[in-house]
Structure 1
Amino acid sequence: MKLITPSTVRSLVQLKEMSVEECETLIEIVENEGDTTRCTEIIFNNLKKLFFRKLESLTCFCSWNYSFNFPSLEELTIVECPNMKTFSQEILDTPKLTKAICRWKNGRNWEKKNIDIESGLNTNIQQAYKKQKQVDSNLKELKLTLSGRDVKSIWQGEFQENFGKVKTLQLIKDEYANIPLQILNKFNSLEKLILKVSSYEEIFSFEEDKEYTGAHTKLKILEFWGLFNLKCISKQGSRFNSIFQSLHSLEVNHCHNLMTLLPSSTSFENLTTLMVSYCNGMQNLMSSSTAKSLVRLEDLSIKGCEMMIEVLAKEGDTEKGEIVFEKLKKLYLYSLESLTCFYYGNKYDNLKFPCLESLKVTECSKMKTFSRGGLSMPRLKYLNSRYCLESDIDRTIQQLQNDCSELWKRFPGSRV
């Protein structure tokens, strides 16, 4: 994601301060527009202060063939932008800049670099970037943020640091189609893996000419953010059972090419939290057979998946079956405009939630029933904030969605 185009900059003639904070998938500020082979000057005439904070995907101000002139810029502050390697590619003119600071977290401590204006912004930002990537072998817990090129360098042995202490790894802007499974052998204490704004079509893969050295069984948390090309977690699901079996939490956001999330060939028997948001190509979350493997799932949240028709898809024979979410306590369905039901199946199927205490169904205007077959939720007392008996779930769902529809007609843009 980018913020503005060069033509937009030209219209911001009175802009004096720019502050950009906590944009998870923002890669650069100024995006390409027009002919990239010709160097064009972009001028921010009146900009005096420029402030960036917690932009974890930001790699630069602009990566394209533009020169930048900031005739009035006096202050530049860069805070917690761990992937920012450079400011811009071409000429950068900042004649009035007197204060430039780069700050980042190293473990629990803050580090600060006062940028030497005379030696150049790009040089200083590159130095700060390299310093952030240094791994202290004495640290027992470290969050490390890398780009795709860094991953390849580590895999090929170009880095000599001890990555065995790293517990949290964040990969951003990786241009490769997948992560070679062998990279996990370098991070043998890894517990949390975060993947952002990358080109992965599948997450893990084996290199055919490389020997697989063993399963990585410590990974507990897996998060995807803005993986727009992702089609599946793995095409060879059974080979990765030892990885996925150890997962406790899976969070997936803005992965629009993902048609279904959990492959039926893979077991997620230790998964307790599953959160899916804004995956617009997904028509169902998983198969009914996969649901049966989620024996420890406690929290399920699905939000803003506009193509999702049902949460569970029927798989296999049409005989009477039973699906039990043994530990599920919270189920949240929000803004699923195509959702018709949680599970259609057949009228002989039984869907059981023996521990479900909290059920919320909001802005699911096409949802008229929860399940076609038998439904058991013995501990459920409230649906959203309404008192609801088990026998009244379908009627209450219909009433809630009707209320939402009426409210939207009266007050367009309102939310319940």
Structure 2
Amino acid sequence: MSPSMARSLLNLRKLWIISCQSMEEVITEEEQQGEEIMTNESLFPRLENLYLNDLPKLGHFILTKRAHEFPSLKEVDILECHKMKTFIQQVTVSTLSFESVNNDDELKVVDLNKAMFNSKVLCHNLEVLYIWEANSITALCSHQLPAPYFSKLEALEVQNCGELRNLMSPSVARALLNLRKLRIEECQSMEEVITEDQEQQGEQIMIEPLFLVLEVVILDMLPKLRHFFLTKYTLEFPFLRALQIHVCPEMKKFVQQGSVSTPSLECVNNDDEVKAVDTMFNSKVSCLNLKELELAGANCITSLCTHQLPMGYFSKLEKLVVRNCGELRNLMSQSMARGLLNHRTLRILECQLMEEVITEEEQQGEEIMTNEPLFPVLEELKLYDLPKLGHFILTKHVVEFPFLKEVAIRDCPKMKSFIQQGTESTLNFESVNNDDELKVVDFNKTMFNSKVCLVPLYN
């Protein structure tokens, strides 16, 4: 229909357009119409739900040089609109933005008409946004959006957008005052979720958290994703309770440090050698209320988190699942494990290089180990298909799991003992029927011994 027709639909609340193979635009321009009218009255003034599905030729919702407001729009679903580059297409104005790259002699061209949302469309009351198979967009929104643009948005899901390289800028992310769920799946070109603002770098990043009330993040099948955000400042996610990262093989860190050396260099047995450690979590990101964490197919990390994290970093975590992380050699340090005050479920599956779950901390006082248990409220432990796992932890002290009820160990061919004894002789000489013979019993080849206390275990 025409813009004037759209403005006359004073009570339209729901608009669904499905499987119209030749549709190129929803609202078409009227011939020789004064553009002034368009700025005074909104299109579909009471529209709440917009659903666009299987429109293979749709390029945009409307072509205009004016801004349009949808004051009542709460939910937008855009599915299988492969040629749709932007919601509102700009005309008679240059849409190209020139951005410098690392080499000062080079420039990259950013087409603002390949961002789904820009300053030409206003949806201040939008609560749900779902975009699937919009293969022509390179960013969800332009970096120049006004601060409260998505302030009412609660759920954002983006799937199968093949050209999407990033989602939004930090300034747009900080304006998402009500976003609780973020899901990004199967975007083959995505390299980072939050991209840096042009010419913006400063104190705001230190003071204001991203996604103030975000509770759930799901990142799934993003083969080029390197990190969630690149920054030299600490980021806080104060309400994040569930994080799932599945099949992101290039992702080394949740938050990547910028303008600072990122590898952590650790000494190995040979003093002349050092090894670089890539950990998913470090001191640059704070998720103090995280309750569920799932990692699968994160093939670049060698450890879940650095040893220098504060004691209570994961104090609210209840469930941790790690699957198919091909370079993961250990999970965490002993002090980190003791700080998991609410952790009840631990599952480690199909990690081909994992040698131990809990690794020793350098020069740590051993007195702490005798007083506080590892995973103080852990109830369920599953270790599946870990071909190099030798033990759960190496220590010379007794380790207690006071609430552990269920243990499942499957396909761990090198695991000799649940708790590996260190710095003490593990050999015991026992007499056999013939008094002249002795047999040697190595306690480190028995799964359970006096070094581990599992009083409540019943399964």
Normalising by structure 2, we get a TM-score of 0.50
Contact 1:237 1:263 survives alignment (8 Å): no
Q: CA deviation at 1:361?
A: 0.7
Q: Which whole-Å deviations, capped at 9, do the CAs of 1:201-225 have from their partners, x for residues lacking one? A: 4443442523748433111111212
Give 1:264-343 correspondences, 5 Å limit: 264-290=283-309, 292=311, 293-312=313-332, 323-343=338-358
Residue matched to 2:128: 142
Residue matched to 1:103: none
Q: Distance in 1 between matches of 2:168 and 2:393?
A: 38
Q: Which runs of 5+ in 2 are unaligned?
A: 1-20, 22-50, 60-72, 89-115, 253-278, 411-416, 421-442, 448-459
Report the count of equivalent residues: 280
Residue matched to 1:354: 376
Q: Distance in 1 between matches of 2:318 and 2:336?
A: 22
Bigger mean CA offset, 266-275 vs 179-188:
179-188
For residue 195 of structure 1, the aligned residue among 180, 184, 188 is 184
Residue matched to 1:248: 241
Bigger mean CA offset, 250-259 vs 186-195:
186-195
Return closer, same or farther for 1:294/1:111 CA change in 2, 3 Å cut-off.
closer
Q: Distance in 1 between matches of 2:283 and 2:198?
A: 24
Q: Distance in 1 between matches of 2:122 and 2:167?
A: 24
Contact 2:167 2:194 survives alignment (8 Å): yes
Q: Distance in 2 between matches of 1:110 and 1:343?
A: 45
**Greater percentage in strand:** 2
Return closer, same or farther for 1:382/1:337 CA change in 2, 3 Å cut-off.
same
**Greater percentage in helix:** 1
Residue matched to 2:388: 366
Q: CA deviation at 1:110?
A: 10
Q: Distance in 2 between matches of 1:301 and 1:322?
A: 15
Return closer, same or farther for 1:291/1:333 CA change in 2, 3 Å cut-off.
farther
Contact 1:191 1:218 survives alignment (8 Å): yes
Indicate yes or no: 2:66 matched with 1:86.
no
Which of the pair has more CA radius of gyration?
2
Indicate yes or no: 2:405 matched with 1:381.
yes
Q: Distance in 2 between matches of 1:377 and 1:290?
A: 22
Residue matched to 2:215: 220
Residue matched to 2:257: none
Corresponding letter in the other structure for 1:341: E
Residue matched to 2:194: 204
Q: Distance in 2 between matches of 1:325 and 1:294?
A: 6
Q: Which whole-Å deviations, capped at 9, do the CAs of 1:86-131 have from their partners, x for residues lacking one? A: 3799xxxxxxxxxxxxxxxx9899999xxxxxxxxx9x9869x969
Residue matched to 1:184: 173
Contact 1:368 1:394 survives alignment (8 Å): no
Q: Distance in 2 between matches of 1:335 and 1:270?
A: 27
Normalising by structure 1, we get a TM-score of 0.54
Contact 1:222 1:250 survives alignment (8 Å): yes
Identity of aligned residues (%): 16
Q: Distance in 1 between matches of 2:175 and 2:157?
A: 14
Return closer, same or farther for 1:208/1:198 CA change in 2, 3 Å cut-off.
same
Q: Distance in 2 between matches of 1:398 and 1:87?
A: 66
Indicate yes or no: 2:206 matched with 1:236.
no
Q: CA deviation at 1:282?
A: 1.9
Return closer, same or farther for 1:162/1:234 CA change in 2, 3 Å cut-off.
closer
Return closer, same or farther for 1:137/1:302 CA change in 2, 3 Å cut-off.
same
Q: CA deviation at 1:252?
A: 0.4
Q: What CA RMSD, in Å, does the superposition of the two structures yield over aligned residues?
A: 4.6
Q: Distance in 1 between matches of 2:246 and 2:317?
A: 19
Return closer, same or farther for 1:323/1:201 CA change in 2, 3 Å cut-off.
farther
